[in-house]
Chains A and B, each alone.
Chain A
Amino acid sequence: MNIVFVLIPLSLVLVALAGWAFFWSVNHDQFDDLDTPALIPLSDETSGSPAEAGPKSP
C-alpha cells in the first residue's frame, strides 16, 4: 500500500508538467489558428525545412 505515497506525488508531478506544457503552448500561439496547420501536410512542397516554410520567428 505504501507504493501510493510514491505514485500519487508522481501523478501530481505529471499533472503539473501537463499544465506547464499547456500554458507554454497557449503562450506560444499554438491555439491561435487551429485550421491552417491541418493543411500543411497536404502541401507537396519539397523545398525548405518547416522552419523556413512556416512563419518566420526572430
Chain B
Amino acid sequence: MPALTCFHCGEPVAGQAPLVARVGALDHPVCCIGCRAAAEWIASLGLQDYYRLRDIPPPRAVAVGDYSAWDRPQLQRMYVHHRDDGDAEVCVLLEGLRCPACSWLIERALAAMPSVRETGVSVPGKRVRIVWRPQLESLSTLLGALAHLGYVPHPLDRESLNDIVEREQRTALKRLLVAGLGMMQAMMFAIVLYAGALEGIEASTRDFFRWIGLLVTIPVVFYAARPFFAGAWRELRARRPGMDTPVAFAVALVFVASIVETLRGGAHVYFDSASMFVFLLLGGRYLEMRARHRAADVVDALARLQPAVAERLDANGVPESVGVHELQAGDCVIVADGATVPADGELVSSECRVDESLLSGESRPLLRHRGERLIAGSIVVDGPARMRVARVGAETTLSAIVRLIGRAQQQRPRWARYGDRAAGYFVCALLVVTAITAATWLVIDPARAFAASLAVLVVACPCAFALAVPAALARSLTVLAQRGILVLTPNAIESLLRANYFVFDKTGTLSERSLEVVASEAVGRFPADECLRIAAQLESGSTHPIADALRAAAGCAEPARAQNLRRIAGGGVEGDIDGEHYRLGRAQFASSVEADDDDAVVLADSRGILARFELREVPRDDAAATVAGLRDAGSGIEILSGDSQSRVAAIAGRLGIDEFQARVHPEQKLDRLAQLRAAGLNVAVVGDGVNDAPALAGADLAVAVGGGAELAKSSADIVLAGDRLGGLIEARIIAIATLRIMRQNLLWSLVYNAAAVPLAAIGWVPPWLAAIGMSLSSLGVIANSLRIRAAAVSRPGVSTTAAASDLTPVPA
C-alpha cells in the first residue's frame, strides 16, 4: 500500500481504514478528526479551490479549543476596540498563516459569517483584523472558526490595531512616489534646458521651463524630502551632525541657488539634481524600512509565550476561564496538557513534566514534583497540572528575562557611524571652501563669484559621498533578504565582518528540535527491527519528538494494529498489539525497575524488557558545514548551552567543536561574553531560545535562527529566517562584498571630489558641467553597488525556497 498523505495537512496518514473527508464528490483520506472537520468545512463554504491555490500545506488542524473566556468583559477591555457605530474590532495573530492562499481562505471563510463586516489579512504580519457585530456573534465564535480552519488564533492587544508600522510604510511609499514623479518631470525639463544651452534657446522660453522645473520640484523638496529636514533639525539640536544634515544642506542649497538663478535669469538651474538626489536617498531608506518591518512582523513574541487566559479554580474547586491579568498570588489554576504556564507558582498536584526549553535551553521535559516551582512561559507536557500562583505579571521570571534584555541592550556599545561623521566634516569643509571661493572671486572678479561658488557646491554636493554607504548597504540588505537573511540593525553588517569568535547555543541552533534513534538494543525474544516496529505502533497517535524518531527509525508507516493505547502522564505509553500487552517509555515505567537511564526509551512486555532505544539530537543539516566554514575563515567557535553535559558533548563531538560549556545560566552566559570581549575578541552569539536573549543583546553581534523562540529575534541584529544556519556563511560572503563595494564607492567619490572641487574653485567648471559631473558620480556609485549579487553566493544544495517561504509568500 502506498503511503497515504492527509488531504488537508499533507502529513502521512496512519492506519488501515483512514478517516475520509468528503470534498466535492470525492472522498479524501485525512489524518485526524481535526483535519477532517477543517476540510469539510472549507468544502461546505465552497472554498475547495484553496487546495489548488496553496503553496504550503497548513499545519495539522487541531481539535478546536474552548475560546469562551474571550467573551469575558475583563479580557475584551484589553483586546477589543468598540467603535462608535456599534461594531467591534480585533487584531488576531494566526499561527500557521503562511501563504496567499491562506489569506484567501481566511477572508472568504470569515466573510461567510453573518456578523463579520470587514476583514484584512496581512500574510507577512501573520495577522488578521476583523470588524464584526458583537450583537450577532461573540468573539469566541470567530476565534473558534479560525481555529477550525487550522490556524491557532492569538488575539493581540488593542495597541496593535493602531498600526504605526502600516502608517509609516504608507507615508514612505507616498514620499517615494512624489520624489520619483517629480524627478522624472524635472529631468524632462532639464533636458530641454541642456539642449537649449547647446543649441540656443530664447530667454523667455528658457525661463518658462525653469519656472515649470521649480513647480515640479516644490513637492519633492517640501513633501518628499521632509524626513531629511526633520532629521537634520533633530541632529543639529542634539549637536551630533549625522547623515541627514549634509543631505538636507545640499538639497536646501541646490534648491535655493536654483531659485535665485531662476529669478535673476542666471546661467543654470539644478532642480533635476535636487529631486534625483531626494529620490535615490528615499529609495534606499524605503528598502531598509521594508526589511526592518518584515523582520519585526515575525517577532510577535510575547503573544505566543505568555498565555492570555488561565483556568482558575474558584472556592468550590470549579474551573473558570479568566484573563491572566486577573490572576493574583494564592490563586489556584489548572494548566491543561500542552498549555503554557500562566504565572510563576508551585505545583500542587503530585507531579508533572514541563518543557522549559524556551527558558533554560534544557531540551527535554523536566519532571517536577509537588511543591516545586513552575515558571511562567514553560509548557506542561503531560497535564493537567494544578498549581498555586506565587508571582504574576512583571514579577515573573519571564518578565525578568525581558528586563535583562533591555538592560543588556542599553549596555551595547553603539557602532560609530564613521561614514556619517565623515560626511558631516565633508559638508563643513565644503561650506568653508565655498566661502573661500566666493570671497576670493569677489576680490578678483565679482561677476564670476556666484557661478564659481555655485559650481563648487554642486560639483561637490555630497551626492556620491552621501550615497556611497547607503547605496551599498541598501543593495546588500535586499540581496540578503532574498536569501532569507534579515538584517535588523544598521551596524550588523559591519559587526558580522569583524566577528572573529562565534558562540553557539545548542538546542534549536546547532541541533534540530527533533530526535533520532542511534541504537536499538534488543534484549528479549524479538530482533531489534521487530521491537522498533512495535514501538512505532505504540506511538502511532503521538506527535512527540520521541514518537517521530521511533516512527522514522521503524521505516515505512504500516497500518495501525495497536489497541487500547493509553498515555501515562510522566511515564510513557501502553497498549495491546496482537493480544500482547506492551509498555514503552522511561525505564522505571516500562519495566518497574528503578534506573537512572533518562536518555533512553525502553520497550517491555508483561515478561520483561524487550529492547532499549537510545535517542540523540539531530544536528542541523548545515551545522557541520557552517562550523567548518567559520573555522576556515579563522574564527573561534564555542558552545554555551543550558542543556546537560553529555548532550552538549555529543553534539560538540559530532561537529568537531572543542570549546563547550554545559548547564550555563543566562547570567553566566553574559559573564562569559564579557570575559571574551575583554580579551579583545569580537563575539557573535548565535541562538534561538529566550534564555539566549540576554546573551544575544550583550554580544557584539547577535544572530537568531528563525523558527525558534520568537523573543530572541527581538534583540537580534540578524535573523536567519527559515531555519537555515548556512545563511551565516552566505551573509558573511555578502558582507565582505558589501565592504569592498563600499570602499570603492567612497574612494571613487573622494577622488572625484578631490579632482573636481579645485577645478570648480578656479572657475574652470561651468555649473552645467558640474551638475552633469555630480549626476554621473552618483550614478557610478549606484551602478557599482548593484554588483553585490546573490549569485556571488554558492548554493550548496540547500533549498532556498523552503527557507524563504516562511517570510516571502510565493504566489502559485
Mark A residues whose CB is within 8 Å of B: 1, 5, 8, 11-12, 15, 18-19, 22-23, 26-27, 29, 31-33, 35-36, 38-40, 42-45, 47, 52-58
Contact = CB atoms under 8 A, between A and B. Distances in A.
Contacts of A52: 111
Given A33-B122, A33-B123, A53-B111, 17 more contacts: A15-B216, A18-B181, A19-B181, A26-B173, A32-B122, A32-B166, A36-B100, A36-B121, A39-B100, A39-B101, A39-B104, A42-B52, A43-B49, A52-B111, A54-B107, A55-B119, A58-B117
A18 B182 CA distance: 12
Interface in B754-812: 809, 811-812
A31 B49 CA distance: 24
B215 interface: yes
Contact of B809 (A19, A22, A35): A35
A22 B99 CA distance: 26
25 contacts: A8-B212, A11-B185, A12-B212, A15-B216, A18-B181, A22-B174, A23-B174, A26-B174, A35-B100, A35-B103, A35-B809, A36-B100, A36-B103, A36-B121, A38-B811, A42-B52, A42-B53, A42-B812, A43-B49, A44-B49, A52-B111, A54-B107, A55-B118, A58-B87, A58-B118
B46 interface: yes
Interface residues of B, number: 39
Nearest to B185: A15
B101 A19 contact: no
Contacts of A1: 205
Contact of A47 (B46, B107, B170, B177): B46
Contacts of A47: 46
Contact of A53 (B85, B108, B170): B108
B178 interface: yes
B73 interface: no
B527 interface: no
B53 A43 contact: yes
Contact of A5 (B53, B181, B208): B208
B103 A33 contact: yes
B111 A56 contact: yes
B522 interface: no
Nearest to A43: B49
Contacts of A38: 100, 811
B468 interface: no
Given A26-B170, A56-B111, A39 B123 contact: no
A13 B524 CA distance: 89
A56 B116 contact: yes
- What 10 pairs across the A-B complex have the smallest Cβ distances? A35-B100, A36-B100, A43-B49, A36-B103, A38-B811, A55-B119, A39-B53, A35-B809, A26-B170, A35-B811
Given A23-B174, A47-B46, A32 B120 contact: yes
A19 B183 CA distance: 13
A55 B111 contact: yes
Given A54-B107, A55-B111, A22 B811 contact: no
Nearest to B49: A43
Nearest to A42: B53
A5 B209 CA distance: 10
B46 A45 contact: yes
A11 B189 CA distance: 12
Given A35-B809, A38-B811, A40-B104, A12 B216 contact: yes
A30 B811 CA distance: 17
B510 to A, nearest CB: 34
B131 interface: yes
Given A19-B178, A43-B49, A56 B100 contact: no
Most buried by B among A19, A29, A39, A58: A39
A32 to B, nearest CB: 7
A39 B208 CA distance: 49
A11 B100 CA distance: 38
B262 to A, nearest CB: 16
Interface in B106-156: 107-108, 111, 116-123, 131
Contacts of A11: 185
Nearest to B178: A19
A13 B131 CA distance: 38
A47 B112 CA distance: 13
A21 to B, nearest CB: 10
B103 A56 contact: no
Contacts of A54: 107, 111
